[in-house]
Structure 1
Amino acid sequence: MRIGILSYRSNPYCGGQGVYVRHLAAALADLGHRVEVISGPPQTFSINHQIPVTRLEGLDLYNPQNPFRTPAPAELCDPVNFLEWAGVSTMGFPEPLTFGIRAFLHLKDRLHQFDILHDNQCLSYGTLMLSRRIPFVTTIHHPITVDRGLELDAAPNAWKRFKVMRWYSFIGMQLRVARRLPHIITVSHASKADIQSEFSLPAERFHVVENGIDTERFKPMPHIEREPGRIIVTNSADTPLKGLAYLLIAVRKLTDEGRRIRLIVIGTPKKNGAIESLIRTLGLTNVSFTGHIDDEAFVEHYARAAIAVVPSLYEGFGLPAGEAMACGVPVVSTTGGALAEVVGDAGILVPPADADALAAAIARLLDHPGLARDLGKIGYRRVHERFTWHQAAQRTLDVYRKVIRADRQTR
């Protein structure tokens, strides 16, 4: 099969959407199919030598190495570039819209080279036009309206709320496009139910294909000893959706109880942001951030951890939970979104936004090392039985075949 995967902004080494594209494309290629990724920034996107990546050049105004740069006049002569610059200049996020336009312009004369196109949550008017010319499916990982709602709730004043609404103004386009697409892949039954409700979509349009976990990368390292009291969390620190604030409050509670614990956050907090402020307010000295680390260091952190915590208020799937389980680390997780589906009986589940429940669950595992070991083993088995990229690719291929058959019947 000849497959084109569209990804408007996806770092292939961090962030759920980029990881999804990278591993799904590789697994499809391993099954003998021809895959091409059509990608927006970052321009470092690569998978392996078998899979070509076509990069659609844009202004990349959110590049952390040169954020909000001033484009050269020649760049703004391009109408799509001008649209992108205007959107960013007015505090919006125009990249789904502009990537979709660029993808349509690039692919409209190449469609004979593909059997199917697979959009990774761009949901742009440009990709909608492509869907009318070729078998087409889109993946929606979770309803982005949830992110918007949580950020609005966390906004301290009217100006901040206006900025949140402006940033998420692309949601209107995505809702309109999603309602016109007959085939949608989503990564959990919880996401399916929530997207169906938030987007007002019929259930028959959905195909649930659970994500995989990179079990070659995330695996136990028996030669590294786990450190008692060492807790790990993988987190976009200043995103309210990820719930780190509740874990920090739980750490304060456990510390006040006299427990010797250390929290390692895989990530970087926003300078002078809400998380740094909360750490100062709580007087925590046993919390450290790793910043950007390479793959080997990441897995070594899991190997040293006694417990992995996933405090998210909502996850469409929950890759951090699966990655910890693949490393044999016992998990404490909220039930936000699909996390209960992923963790199952391999961890302790608590309600979202409940610092006391997080603290109690962590204390239980610290006090019962036998239970922690058992949960680590159950989690490892669960990932290998249900959540490999090979399985995800096979199920995705089943969806592709259904979409192609349906497309032939309607054209």
Structure 2
Amino acid sequence: MTAEATEAALAREGGLPGGDTSRSERPLRIALLSYKGNPFCGGQGVYVRHLSRELARLGHSVEVIGAQPYPVLDEGVTLTELPSLDLYRQPDPFRMPKPAEYRDWVDALEVATMATGGFPEPLTFSLRARRHLAARRGRFDVVHDNQTLGYGLLGGPLALGAPLVTTIHHPITVDRQLDLDAAADWKRRASVHRWYGFVRMQKRVARRLPSVLTVSGSSRDEIVDDLGVPAERIHVVPIGADTDLFSPDPSVAEVPGRIVTTSSADVPLKGLVHLVEALATVRATNPGAHLVVVGKRAENGPVATAIARHGLGDAIRFVKGVSDAELVDLVRSAQVACVPSLYEGFSLPAAEAMATGTPLVATTGGAIPEVAGPDGETCLAVPPGDAGALAAGLTRLLGDADLRHRLGTAGRARVLARFTWRQAAIGTADHYREAVARYGAAGAARRRAGIR
């Protein structure tokens, strides 16, 4: 059935939910679910913040329903807190809660899963969200799940009170495999398997979802191959940079030798250890080269070991908890931005750096080439996991001001043309309306058949 035919059928049957037959114009009431929403550490929090803001600017009513760490939201977006036990909070991660903290069986499940080495939050948040949405049936036109993929979200509109659209940034199976490949022994491999036990649930849930959004063609292919979701249910809606915030500013002084990167965690996926190895090589010919990492410094692990081995303690600085303005100025001050990841489902750091006009060295892992563009035109592209190639690209850019200017200018133009949050919000809202139309058509069919 075409969109026009669906709309006409709904009009004959009494309209869309809410009684409005104008599908293309009526603002939507959106519940956006976020089981983990820190906007300064990890792409999911960034996604929730910027997408919700742009949806609100388009005139929609957006309510983010989230757990700790709660997302930071912009004006016009409502936050409803749906608290977990916050078992991984700093400075006491993997804490055991006091008896008075337990509220119900979901809390007990959360603690039991953590105590056996698993990660409970996708499941337990989904169960709490289902209960919360059921109690508010009729308040939303659409529910948008940001990669929770928990059992609690199954059951369709009858269970949640509205049709469901789900974003899968990339399958967590990729992270799991990279962590397994990096495991030093069988004990570590067993620990990785326990931690990623929720992936089995996410596979089962994903295969039953009616509408999946993802952020790149690479992620779409991975979702089909790793999660078994039929390709026709997956729709690519690229995300992007806040191009008003991430913009060039000639008044910010460029710091000679500065390389900036973002690494939200010391995990193999982010490839930071390869960038550390590359920096050691770069400094052999450019002693002033230094690295600023937006993220938390790990006190031990492969990155800390590499820093100590190469004596780079004074050449690498970690920063965290910076404001948006401080982050943008930090990127602007760099001569080179780098994305060393082994895999990315999209790569917001690449888009944001390019939006400032900072030239980029990036790997070809996952969807990064879809964002960064062709080697030598909008970036310098290198193979993932190759410290030597990273070093060569960094050395080349640090030594060539004309190349830096050309790549920086072309990179910003690419982001403006393809990757903005307004474009992402428009594309996402189109899929919301399709989900609402399918829901209305299915309800009309049930009424015609006499099914309640």
TM-score range (shorter-chain normalised) is: over 0.9
Contact 2:170 2:214 in 1 (8 A): yes
2:127 corresponds, among 95, 101, 117, to 101
1:270 corresponds, among 298, 313, 316, to 298
Q: Counterpart of 1:205 in structure 2: which amino acid?
A: R
Compared CA separation, residues 258 and 31, structure 1 to 2 (3 A): closer
Percentage identity across aligned positions?
A: 50
Structure 1 residue 334 displacement after superposition? 0.3
Contact 1:108 1:130 in 2 (8 A): no
Aligned to 1:31: 58
Q: Counterpart of 1:27 in structure 2: which amino acid?
A: E
Aligned to 1:318: 347
Compared CA separation, residues 336 and 139, structure 1 to 2 (3 A): same
Structure 1 residue 237 displacement after superposition? 4.7
Structure 1 residue 401 displacement after superposition? 1.4
Aligned to 1:373: 405
Structure 1 residue 81 displacement after superposition? 0.5
Aligned to 2:370: 341
Unpaired stretches in structure 2, ≥5 consecutive residues: 1-27, 444-452
- Secondary structure, aligned partner of 1:112: coil
2:148 corresponds, among 115, 122, 142, to 122
User: What CA distance in whole angstroms lies between the structure 2 residues aligned with 1:364 and 1:42?
Assistant: 40
- Secondary structure, aligned partner of 1:69: coil
Matches within 5 A, 1:44-55: 45-55=71-81
Structure 1 residue 132 displacement after superposition? 4.8
Structure 1 stretch displaced more, 106-115 or 284-293 = 284-293
User: What CA distance in whole angstroms lies between the structure 1 residues aligned with 2:276 and 2:203?
Assistant: 35
- Secondary structure, aligned partner of 2:155: helix
User: What CA distance in whole angstroms lies between the structure 2 residues aligned with 1:190 and 1:223?
Assistant: 37
1:307 maps to 2:336: yes
2:163 corresponds, among 135, 143, 147, to 135
Compared CA separation, residues 116 and 340, structure 1 to 2 (3 A): same
Structure 1 stretch displaced more, 97-106 or 293-302 = 293-302
Higher Rg: 2
1:382 maps to 2:414: yes
Aligned-residue Cα RMSD (Å) equals 1.5
Structure 1 stretch displaced more, 10-19 or 123-132 = 123-132
- Secondary structure, aligned partner of 1:98: helix
- Secondary structure, aligned partner of 2:170: coil
Unpaired stretches in structure 1, ≥5 consecutive residues: none
- Paired residues in the alignment total 410
In the superposition, the TM-score normalised over structure 1's length comes to 0.96
Contact 1:237 1:275 in 2 (8 A): no
Contact 2:282 2:395 in 1 (8 A): yes
Structure 1 residue 78 displacement after superposition? 1.2
Aligned to 2:19: none
In the superposition, the TM-score normalised over structure 2's length comes to 0.88
Cα-to-partner distance string for 1:54-103 (whole Å, 9 max, x where unaligned): 11122111111442333221333510100001111111110110000001
User: What CA distance in whole angstroms lies between the structure 2 residues aligned with 1:46 and 1:77?
Assistant: 26
User: What CA distance in whole angstroms lies between the structure 1 residues aligned with 2:310 and 2:72?
Assistant: 41
Cα-to-partner distance string for 1:318-377 (whole Å, 9 max, x where unaligned): 000011011110000001111000011411111111111111111221232101101111
1:249 corresponds, among 268, 277, 280, to 277
Structure 1 residue 130 displacement after superposition? 4.8
Aligned to 1:207: 235
